[in-house]
Chain A
Amino acid sequence: MAETKSTADVLTVRDLCFSYPDGRAALQGISLALREGEKVALVGPNGAGKSTLMLHLNGILSGQGEVIVAGRRLAKENLPFVRASVGLVFQNPDDQLFSPTVFEDVAFAPLHMGLPEAEVRARVDAALDAVQMSAYRERLSHHLSVGEKKRIAIATALSMRPSLLALDEPSAGLDPRGRRTLIRLLSDLPLAMLVSTHDMALVKELFPRVIVMDEGRIVADDTTEKILADEELLAAHGLEKP
């Protein structure tokens, strides 16, 4: 496991366990840490618990164990703060973009943070600028392509100015050009990222560090180079070398 000082960590998870109401154990003692600005891929077969882990990062689900985001322990009293510091981007942009227009969607989080109007507008502009979608402000979400929706979905999280971006399957369903734009966007963003994905080519290109999950446990956490070289590990957890 990578050596990290917990004070500089943007995210620390300790012994996180979670079972769904039907008794299925989804997370069984997850521990990990992310440094500021560190980009980490989260891989593993379907049902490994990746999405469940993502939902714990800002308290949508809460299991036993400890989640510390940007120096604050996740608890009921500071949920709003933690939610603002973790930008969660869901897999299906149609779930993430629920407002009629792009502007309203990107403004949703800043408005709920109680910011004044001028600041909200500034943040919307900055977030749309960061994903190069400034021209789409007044567009209707349902008229956008999948790639455009994905980028707007990322902007809706960026407008919170989070210290960590958690993305679920960002490259799923994108055509090569959309995927290329997304990769460039993610590598340019100066933010810590935890990205759950099946796209091993994306992992190889973008992430220096990989966490492998299977059956609710972390089975490997190392540099991408080492993990991709370990064919036995990849085969055991249903992964493929790019």
Chain B
Amino acid sequence: MHVNLFDRYQETQSFLHRLDPRVKVLATIFYVVSNALLPDGAWFAFFAAWIFLLACNALSKLGWNYTLKRSLIALPFALIAITVLFTTKGTPLFSFELFSVHWALSLAGITRFAAILIRSWLSVQMALLLVAATTFPDLIHALEHLRIPKVLTAIIAFLYRYLFVLTDESFRLLRAREARSVAAEGMKRGGSLLWRAKNAGNMVGQLFLRSYERSDRIYQAMTARGYSGRLYTLNPHEMKSADYFAAALTLTFLSFIQILGRI
């Protein structure tokens, strides 16, 4: 059995897929930063940012609403921002007593909350598009090119490689438990909650031990091939004129959005 749950890459031929991963990573980061820097009520600027996102979607040939359909996953996290509704200073529109605390809702608070929701909603979609249009190894190469420390990129690469192996392993463990979770005629099935919890705990421990031992074997395999504390990789990427063009266009558009948000 094989789990490919985590692979978000969508294989197609498109302008966005062919773009140099460095450009894509930087454009995404700049886009997120630009969204974060926009003032709270700059609705036109947010709208322009959304248009930019839709254009990127279209360029990826995955469909203009590809990320729209997947964008809701981030909303629960954005709800953490709900406190700004009450903590932002402004003229209260509405107030009430709850748990003997005085809560006041202001227009400024609502505006800020809406802006935070929009910012995270847009940013998450761009990140989704990045991983859908870039293979994971390419993303790691891009990070290496951008001078992210080798230790970090190596950890990400290992995580990516062994996440699959580990999920396969945990599914095997679960299946083994399933296969032996049997019943006998006339007996009550399953033990007490405590007994079940103990079993689950043992399985987690088992998984940890297996991973720990595996890490030892991987280290041996690395040393056997010359590893001595430093990692070397080849980065087969080259910027073409289309890449420079896309980078320049993105920067121009993001500057335009920033100006739009401030007039």
A contacts, CB < 8 Å to B: 55, 58, 60, 80, 83-84, 86, 88, 90, 92, 94-101, 104, 107-109, 111-113, 117, 120-121, 140-143, 156-157, 160
For residue A60, which residues in chain B have a CB less than 8 angstroms away from its CB?
A: 220, 223-224
Query: Which secondary structure dominates where chain B touches chain A?
Result: helix
- State in angstroms the CA–CA spacing of A200 and B214 once bound together: 28
A-B contact pairs, 5 of them (CB 8 A): A86-B224, A98-B222, A107-B233, A111-B234, A112-B227
- Interface size for B (C-beta < 8 A) is 28
For residue B220, which residues in chain A have a CB less than 8 angstroms away from its CB?
A: 55, 60, 90, 95
Query: How far is the CB of B243 from the nearest CB of chain A, in Å?
Result: 19
- State in angstroms the CA–CA spacing of A140 and B165 once bound together: 13
> Please, which residue of chain B has its CB at the minimum distance from the CB of A81?
B226
For residue B196, which residues in chain A have a CB less than 8 angstroms away from its CB?
A: none
Query: Which secondary structure dominates where chain A touches chain B?
Result: helix
Query: How far is the CB of A119 from the nearest CB of chain B, in Å?
Result: 11
Query: How far is the CB of B214 from the nearest CB of chain A, in Å?
Result: 6
For residue B53, which residues in chain A have a CB less than 8 angstroms away from its CB?
A: none
For residue B226, which residues in chain A have a CB less than 8 angstroms away from its CB?
A: 80, 83-84, 108-109, 112-113, 160
Interface contact A107-B224, CB-CB below 8 Å: no
Nearest 3 interchain pairs by C-beta? A112-B226, A109-B225, A111-B232
Interface contact B137-A100, CB-CB below 8 Å: yes
For residue B224, which residues in chain A have a CB less than 8 angstroms away from its CB?
A: 58, 60, 83, 86, 88, 90
Stretch in B94-102, B119-127, B156-164 with 4+ CB within 8 Å of A: B156-164
User: Contact check: which of B136, B165, B214, B225 meets A108 at CB < 8 Å?
Assistant: B225
For residue B135, which residues in chain A have a CB less than 8 angstroms away from its CB?
A: 140
B259 at the interface (CB under 8 A from A): no
For residue A157, which residues in chain B have a CB less than 8 angstroms away from its CB?
A: 225
